[in-house]
Structure 1
Amino acid sequence: MTATDPALTALAQGWCALSLLHGRIEAHIERALESGHGLSLREYSLLNVLGRQHAGPGGHLQMKQVADAVVLSQSATTRLVSRLEDRGLLTRYICATDRRGIYTDVTDAGRALLEEARPTNDAALREALDKAAEDPELAPLVRAVEALRAPGAPVSAEA
């Protein structure tokens, strides 16, 4: 294959469309979360990831796992955790079985803010997808995203 191979060109165009869709969705959700709840999308994502963890053995994530889940470097994740901890939304503590391990947990205030912000996030995502579906280049990607449902998840009347 050469650099001008039509298959590679089509692949690059598809990647550009996917990047465009991601950027539009992210920007739309970011504006909604910031204006409605004073949260960035990364802050919301971090609260959401940590809020889904359960207490007890195996219920915690290492910082690298958290960083991977929110798609940030470990140092950026640590700074993000510190900001949310300063706001009283997260707390950190030492692992009882491995003193080198540090766990992060969502506080009651963090859980309350997450629950308050979740409908905003969901509505902004729906709005962004609906808007993107109007673009013929992005419509197939929107359909693909909408088809990605968790097994057993209810199918809306719109799908």
Structure 2
Amino acid sequence: MTRPDQTLSQRWCALSALHGRIETTVERALQAAHGLSVREYSVLNVLVQQHDGTGGHVRMNELAEAVVLSQSATTRLVNRLEDRGLLTRYLCADDRRGIYTDVTDTGRALLEEARPTNDAALDRALTEAGTHPELAPLVDALRTPAGPVAGVPAGAPSEA
């Protein structure tokens, strides 16, 4: 996957650079075409993936973990999405301390509209990054189909 002469620190720097390139490219595309940030897209994607029919939902703490944000950052993000009518929140019937988040039909429609933009931007970013020798092995690893990744929650976003 990586050159044997690279140190762990060098490989980490390459991974960080690749992530930054991907996130910047996808962010610009999603913002321009759909008014969505990468994080907003990720939240909607997680909610749609976790939805299991009527009453499908995700607890706020699970959502924060899935999109790798702090509880407070997730709450602010969810507030913005709720204000736009893209998701809803409600108290858990069994545990009044638990708050669930669910995607609305409007949020689901926006996500489906934005998905091709996300995928095309992701492909562009990976193609460009693959031209850099230090990033090419990481790009190859991402493009190679594999089984589930240990530690990644089901429905976690596949994009950067």
Shift of 1:56: 5.8
What's the TM-score, normalizing by structure 1?
0.85
Further displaced range: 119-128 or 9-18: 9-18
Shift of 1:60: 3.1
**Equivalent residue in structure 2 for 1:25, among 22, 29, 42:** 22
Letter of the 1:101 partner, please give it: G
Aligned-pair RMSD on alpha carbons? 1.9
Normalized per residue, which structure has more helix?
A: 1
Further displaced range: 96-105 or 69-78: 96-105
Secondary structure of the 1:71 match is: coil
**Equivalent residue in structure 2 for 1:83, among 59, 72, 80:** 80
**Equivalent residue in structure 1 for 2:101, among 100, 104, 125:** 104
Deviations 1:101-121 (A, max 9, x none): 111111111000000000000
Q: What are the ranges of 5 or more consecutive residues in structure 2 without an aligned counterpart?
A: 149-160
Secondary structure of the 2:95 match is: coil
Q: What are the ranges of 5 or more consecutive residues in structure 1 without an aligned counterpart?
A: 1-6, 152-159
Shift of 1:9: 6.7
Counterpart of 1:139 in structure 2 is 136
Alignment CA distance shift 1:74-1:8 (3 Å)? farther
In the alignment, the residues of structure 1 paired with residue 119 and residue 86 of structure 2 have an alpha-carbon distance, to the nearest angstrom, of 21
Counterpart of 2:62 in structure 1 is 65
Question: For this pair of structures, how many residues does the alignment match?
Answer: 144
Secondary structure of the 1:98 match is: coil
Contact 2:58 2:102 (C-alpha < 8 Å) held by counterparts: no
In the alignment, the residues of structure 2 paired with residue 8 and residue 126 of structure 1 have an alpha-carbon distance, to the nearest angstrom, of 28
Higher relative contact order (CA 8 A, sep 6+): 2
Alignment CA distance shift 1:85-1:45 (3 Å)? same
Secondary structure of the 2:58 match is: coil
Counterpart of 2:110 in structure 1 is 113
In the alignment, the residues of structure 2 paired with residue 33 and residue 95 of structure 1 have an alpha-carbon distance, to the nearest angstrom, of 32
Counterpart of 1:156 in structure 2 is none
Counterpart of 2:156 in structure 1 is none
Percent identity between the aligned chains? 69
Counterpart of 2:154 in structure 1 is none
Shift of 1:99: 1.4
Shift of 1:13: 0.7
- Larger Cα Rg: Structure 1 or Structure 2? 1
